[in-house]
């Protein structure tokens, strides 16, 4: 559809190249650029491959770009490659890569929840909460405890709680004697933590596995 619209509107070649020949994929962190090229060369002529790396450590973030010579080749790669690559058309280079990576992770997390909707308003200060007696009496803090009968994957849990602004850290801990999951989440404000608990306590992630989210003492005056 993108290719047809581009041609119908008389787009120039450089615009078509930029927006329709470059794809963004999720890959194992062990992949090299040569591995990436090898996996995607069957769909067409590749101009270049690049892997996104941590600027500090130089380690792969598990994300990469593949640029084809023709839009039809990029479209074929998106359509036919293994679903685990989560291939999509890449944003034009004038959009910051960090912003695009965050959007990509968030969108894929929502897809992973398979029918569980997350009606986040994304701005906790604009959300109203019904002040019941139970909520007023419950001690609140910026820190949350998350418990699950299944173990957590750090990146996935971080992406889930990062949908709410203000996430400072997500620390996944494992009990060697059980297969359950436990994590500590902290936000920059109590408002964000309250909203996270409000939306995610009892949430099924993955489907069939309910999360238990409670406040943890963070040393601050909860009356604030």
Q: Could you read off the pLDDT of 156-168 as tens digits, one per residue?
A: 889 999 988 899 9
Q: Which domains does the chain have, with CATH numbers?
A: 16-89 (3.30.70.330), 143-215 (3.30.70.330)
Phi, psi of 218 (to 5 degrees): -115, 10
How many angstroms separate the CA atoms of 224 and 139, rounded? 10
pLDDT score at 134: 43
Q: Are 66 and 43 in contact (CB under 8 A)?
A: no
Q: Are 61 and 10 in contact (CB under 8 A)?
A: no
Task: Name the residue among 197, 169, 196, 165 with its Cα closest to residue 185.
Answer: 169
Predicted confidence (pLDDT) per residue in 70-125, tens digit: 999 999 999 999 988 988 888 766 555 555 565 665 555 555 544 444 444 444 43
Predicted confidence (pLDDT) per residue in 170-218, tens digit: 988 876 677 788 899 999 988 899 999 988 998 888 778 889 999 988 7
Extended beta strands in the chain, E state: 22-26, 46-53, 60-68, 88-89, 143-148, 167-174, 181-187, 212-216
Q: Could you tell me the pLDDT band of residue 3, with boundaries at 50, 70 and 90?
A: low
How many angstroms separate the CA atoms of 113 and 160, rounded? 10
Structure tokens at 132: 């019941």
pLDDT score at 90: 83
Radius of gyration of the chain (CA): 21
pTM of the model: 0.42
């Amino acid at each position: 559809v993108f290719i047809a619209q581009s041609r119908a509107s008389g787009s120039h070649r450089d615009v078509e190249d930029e927006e329709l020949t470059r794809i963004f994929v999720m890959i194992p962190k062990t992949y090299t650029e040569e591995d990436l090229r090898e996996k995607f060369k069957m769909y067409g002529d590749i101009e270049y491959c690049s892997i996104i790396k941590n600027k500090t450590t130089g380690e792969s973030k598990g994300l990469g770009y593949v640029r084809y010579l023709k839009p039809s080749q990029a479209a074929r790669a998106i359509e036919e490659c293994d679903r685990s690559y989560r291939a999509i058309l890449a944003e034009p280079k004038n959009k910051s890569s960090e912003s695009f990576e965050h959007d990509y992770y968030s969108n894929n997390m929502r897809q992973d929840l398979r029918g569980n909707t997350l009606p986040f308003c994304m701005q906790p200060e604009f959300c109203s909460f019904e002040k019941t007696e139970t909520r007023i009496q419950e001690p609140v803090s910026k820190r949350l405890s998350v418990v699950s009968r299944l173990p957590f994957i750090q990146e996935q849990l971080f992406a889930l709680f990062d949908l709410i602004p203000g996430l400072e850290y997500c620390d996944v801990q494992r009990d060697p004697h059980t297969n359950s999951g436990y994590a500590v989440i902290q936000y920059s404000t109590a408002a964000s933590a309250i909203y996270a608990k409000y939306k995610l306590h009892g949430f099924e992630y993955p489907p069939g596995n309910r999360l238990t989210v409670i406040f943890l003492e963070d040393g601050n005056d909860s009356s604030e």
